[in-house]
Chains A and B, each alone.
Chain A
Amino acid sequence: MSTPEVAARELTYGEAVREAIAEEMRRDPRVFLIGEDVAEAGHPFKVLTGLVQEFGTKRIIDTPISEPGYAGIGVGAAMTGMRPIVDVMFGDFITLAMDQIVNQAAKVHYMSGGKLKVPIVFRTTLGATRRSAAQHSQSLHAWVSHIPGLKVALPSGPYEAKGLMKTAIRDDSPVVIFEDKMMYRVKGPVPAEEYTIPFGVAEVKRAGTDITIVATSSMVGVALGAAKLLEEIGIGAEVIDPRTTYPLDKQALIDSAKKTSRALVVDEGYERYGVTAEIASAIAEGAFYHLDAPVKRIGAMDVPVPFSPVLEDLTVPSERTVFETAKALCRKA
C-alpha cells in the first residue's frame, strides 16, 4: 500500500478530513457528527466548514461544552443503529470523556458477549508548537492505545487523513483518530477516486538500508526531513509509518529493522510509558538477533507543554534531534 504516484489533485489535511466525512455521510445515512462548534462555526480549525450546509443540523449537531455528555450520547446512538463521529475539539479534552471512551465504548461489545456493537469514531487532535500551552497541546494517543477494545489511527498527511477516516467510519468497533492540528493547512496528493486505508498496515515512506526510523503522525514529516540530512552524510534511513497504533503492524516494523539492523522510534506523545516504548519493545523482541545497536526512541519531553515558544520547541522531537540520534546510532561522528 503506497501513496499513488500519479495524483494530480492536492488537498490540505483539513480538506481531506472534511471530504472523508462528507463522502461517508452521503454514502451512509446512519453517519452523523456531534460535538462543540461543529455546525455553523465549522470547528475552530475550520475543518468542518460547509458540512452543515449540506447535511443540516440534524446530522451535524452542535452540543453544549459537555465532553462526557456528548461522548456518552454518541456511544448510546452507536449501540442502537447509528454511526456517530464524536468530535472532541482538542486531544487534551479526551481526558474529560475518558469514562465514556474507556469504560463504555471500549467494553460494551466484549461485556455483552459480542451482542452489542459500538461503531463510533472519536475524532480529535494531537500536536504541540501552536503556542497553546499545557492544556491544548498534548498528544495523548498512548492513553487510548493502551485500552483493549479501541482502535487508534494517526494520519500523517492528507492522503492518510482521508483514507484512515473513511476506514474508521466504516469500522464496527470504536476508533479514536488523532489529527495533527499543525498539519491542517498542509497540502498533499489526495486521489479523487474512492479509496480507504486498511488499519494495521504500516507504510514505508522512504526506503533505506542503514537505519529504520519508525515515525507516527506529526513525526513522519520530521523523520523524512531528518532522513534527507542523514542522506547528506551517507546514511540511508528507511522511514516507516505504522498509521495505526492499534492494530499495530509489528511485522512490517520488525522486517524493516531486520533489514537495516538499527531502529529509532519517534512519536510526539510523552516519551515516558509512551507509544515509542511499545514499538521499541516490539522491534527489540522481534529483530533482536539482527540488530547492531539498541533500539532508541524519542518522544515529547516529559514536561507539561510550556507556553513560551523557546521552551515549547524544546519539548518536541525535531529534524535535528532525530538526525543526531540516528547518526549516533549509526556510529557516525
Chain B
Amino acid sequence: MANDDPSDRTEDGAGSEPPHVPPVAKIRAFDEQVNELYKSAKMPGLAHLYIGEEAVAVGVCEALRRDDLITSTHRGHGHCLAKGAAVNRMFAELLGKEPGYCRGKGGSMHIADPETGNLGANAIVGGSAGIATGAALSAKMRGTDQVAVCFFGDGALGQGLLYEVMNMAALWRLPVIYLCENNLYGEYTPCGETIAGDILARPRALGVHAESVDGQDVQAVHATMRRLVERARRGEGPAFLECKTYRYYGHHVGDVNREYRTREEEREWMSKHDPLETLASRLTTQGLADAGVFERILTDVKAEIDGGVQFALSAPYPEPNEVDQDVYA
C-alpha cells in the first residue's frame, strides 16, 4: 500500500480507485478476523486490535515510500498492513506458523518486514523510539533521503526514552517523525490520569515541530503527513504528529468489559467519527465513489482476508529444531 515511487502517488480524490478506502477496509477486516480467531481459540495468546484507528496507519504510510522506515507497536497490525505487509503471512505469524513474517517466532506484537521498511513492532511501550531515531540517523549517515516514522500511543508519553531521543533528533536534525496515536487510553487507564499539561508542548520544548490532526480523517492525516515527510526529507528535522483517534475494542481481545470507559463514549466515536464511514460519505458526496464501488472493495477485501486465514490455518508450524536458530546472526 505504501507507494514504491512518489510519482505513483495520486492526489486525494484524483485517482480512479477511491483513495484510501481499500487499505482502511482491509485493516478493519483483518483485525475483525483476528478477533474471531481469538474467540474461536484458533490463535495462541492475545492481540491488540487496531479497529477504529485505521485512518492513522493508512494516512501515514501512504505518505511514505516503500524504502522509508517505520517502527510499530503492540497495536501494530494496521501499521504493518499499511506499509505493505501481506495478509496471508501476517495471519501465519499470528498463528505461530512457519510462513509467518518472523517464522512464528515473533507473533502479533513483533511483526517485522524489512522488505517494506517495517523495522518491527515493539511490545515495550515506547521501546522503539530509539530504534526509529537511530534509523533516521543511519539514513542521514548513509546519505539516503529515507524518512523514519515512529508509531507510538499516548501511553508512551510516559516513557523517558521518547524525550531523550526527540532531544537528539532535534539537535541533529534527523529525518524522523514521532507519530503519537492518542486513542485516549493507555492500556486500561484514561490518558487524562497520566498526561499532565499539553501534549504538543512537550516536543515543542525540545525544538521539535509539532502538530495535531483528526486521526479519524484519513485525508487529513495523509495531507499533514505528506507535508511533514517532505519537510523531513528536505533536512528540516524531526516532527511530532498527534493523531486523535479511538480504539473501538479494549486494550486487547480479552478486554471485553472495558470498565474504565462508557458505552456512550464508544457509540459516539463509532457513529460520528468512524474513519471508514467518514471517508465513504465524503467521497460519495463528492461524487468520487458510490455504493457499488464500496461493495466491490469490501468483497475484494473479504476474499483476501478469507484466503489469508485459510493459508495460515493450513500452514505448517515451525520445526522443533528452529527453536534455537537465529539467536545469533
The answer, yes or no, to whether A94 is at the interface (CB within 8 Å) is no
B100 at interface by CB-CB < 8 Å: yes
Judge whether B200 is part of the interface by a CB distance below 8 angstroms. Answer: no
Which residues of chain B from 287 to 329 have any CB-CB distance to chain A below 8 Å in the complex? 325-329
Q: A68-B160, A81-B138, A115-B112 are in contact. Are A76 and B120 (CB under 8 A)?
A: no
In Å, the complex CA distance between A306 and B178 comes to 43
Stretch at the interface among A96-104, A181-189, A232-240, A287-295: A96-104
Interface centre among B104, B106, B134, B168, by most chain A C-beta atoms within 10 angstroms, is: B134
Complex Cα–Cα for A116 and B116 (A): 13
Instruction: Looking at the assembled complex, report how far the CB atom of B25 sits from the nearest CB atom of chain A, in whole angstroms.
Output: 28
* B129 adjacent to chain A (CB < 8 Å): yes
Q: A69-B130, A73-B168, A100-B130 are in contact. Are A109 and B141 (CB under 8 A)?
A: no
Q: How far is the CA of A68 from the CA of B329 in the complex (A)?
A: 23
Q: Does B167 contact A (CB under 8 A)?
A: yes
- Determine the chain A residues whose CB is within 8 A of the CB of B104 once the complex forms: 113
B161 touches A68 (CB 8 A): yes
Of A4-12, A13-21, A58-66, A215-223, the one contacting chain B is A58-66
Q: What CA separation (Å) do A73 and B137 show in the bound complex?
A: 8
Given the contacts A113-B100, A148-B327, A66 and B127 also touching, CB distance less than 8 Å: no
Instruction: Give the complex CA separation of A97 and B167 in angstroms.
Output: 17
Mask for B127-142, Cβ within 8 A of A = 1, else 0? 1111111111111011
The 8 Å CB contact of A173, one of B105, B124, B168, B328, is B328
Name which residue of chain B comes closest to A66, CB basis: B164
Q: Which of A89-115 contact B (CB under 8 A)?
A: 99-100, 103-104, 108-115
Let me know if A76 and B102 touch, CB within 8 A.
no
Interface residues of B in 54-113 (CB under 8 A from A): 69, 71, 100-106, 110, 112-113
Q: Cβ of A211 < 8 Å from any Cβ of B?
A: no
A116 to chain B, nearest CB (A): 6
How far apart are the CA atoms of A104 and B135 in the complex, in Å? 14
Q: Are A69 and B131 touching (Cβ within 8 A)?
A: no
Closest to B120 in A: A112
Name B114's contact: one of A32, A115, A151 (CB within 8 Å). Answer: A115
CB distance from B56 to the nearest CB of A (A): 22
Check B138–A80 contact: CB distance below 8 A. Answer: yes
The listed residue (B120, B124, B130, B141) touching A71 by CB distance below 8 A is: B130
Contact A76 B119 (CB under 8 A): yes
Q: Which bucket holds chain A's interface residue count?
A: 35 or more
- Decide if B223 is an interface residue (CB 8 Å cutoff): no
Is A115 a contact of B134 with CB atoms below 8 Å? no
Q: Which A residues touch B220, using CB under 8 A?
A: none
CB–CB B138/A111 < 8 A: no
Q: Which of B110, B160, B329 contacts A117 (CB 8 A)?
A: B329
Q: Contacts of B148 on A, CB cut-off 8 Å?
A: 76
Known: A104-B130, A104-B131, A109-B329. A82 touches B164 (CB 8 A): no
A28 CB to nearest chain B CB (Å): 13
Residues of chain A within 8 A (CB-CB) of B141 are 32, 58, 77, 82
Is A172 close to B, CB under 8 A?
yes
Contact of B329 with A73 in the complex, beta carbons under 8 Å = no
Partner of B168, one of A64, A78, A113, A115: A64
In the bound complex, what is the Cα–Cα distance between A118 and B101 (angstroms)? 18
Measured in the bound complex, the distance between the Cα atoms of B149 and A139 in whole Å is: 37
Neighbouring A residues of B161 by C-beta, 8 Å: 68-69, 72, 99-100
* 1/0 contact string of A114-154 vs chain B (CB within 8 Å): 11111100000000000000000000000000001101000
Is the beta-carbon distance between B328 and A68 smaller than 8 angstroms? no
Q: A322 at interface (Cβ–Cβ under 8 A)?
A: no
Given contacts A69-B168, A149-B327, contact A113 B102 (CB under 8 A): yes
> How long is the Cα–Cα vector from A32 to B102 in the complex, in angstroms?
29
Is there an interface contact between B130 and A73, defined as CB atoms closer than 8 Å?
A: yes
| Chain B 143-186 near chain A by CB (<8 Å), digits 1 or 0 | 00000100000000000110011011001000000000000000
Residue of B nearest to A106 (CB): B327
Distance (Å) between the CB of B321 and the closest chain A CB? 14
Q: How far is B171's CA from A175's CA once the two chains are assembled, in angstroms? A: 28
Please tell me if the beta carbons of B134 and A74 are within 8 angstroms of each other in the complex: yes
Report Cα–Cα, A72/B133, bound state, in Å: 8
Q: Which of A69, A81, A148 gathers most chain B CB within 10 Å?
A: A69
B residues near A32, Cβ cutoff 8 Å: 141
Chain B residues, CB < 8 A from A149: 327-328
- CB of A72 within 8 A of CB of B119, answer no
A233 CB → nearest B CB, Å: 44
B114 touches A72 (CB 8 A): no
- Closest residue of chain A to B102, judged by CB? A113
- Contact check, A72 vs B131: say whether CB atoms are below 8 A apart: yes
Given contacts A69-B161, A103-B124, A149-B328, 9 further A-B contacts (CB under 8 A): A69-B168, A72-B127, A76-B71, A76-B130, A76-B136, A82-B137, A99-B127, A104-B130, A116-B112
Listed A/B pairs (11) with beta-carbon separation below 8 Å: A64-B164, A64-B167, A64-B171, A69-B167, A72-B127, A72-B131, A80-B139, A80-B142, A113-B102, A113-B112, A114-B326
The 7 A-B pairs at the shortest CB distance, nearest first, are namely A72-B130, A76-B134, A69-B164, A113-B103, A114-B326, A76-B131, A172-B329
A residues touching B (Cβ–Cβ < 8 Å)? 32, 58, 63-64, 66, 68-82, 84, 99-100, 103-104, 108-119, 148-149, 151, 172-173
Q: Which B residues are closer than 8 A to A by beta carbons? A: 69, 71, 100-106, 110, 112-114, 119-120, 122, 124, 127-139, 141-142, 148, 160-161, 164-165, 167-168, 171, 325-329
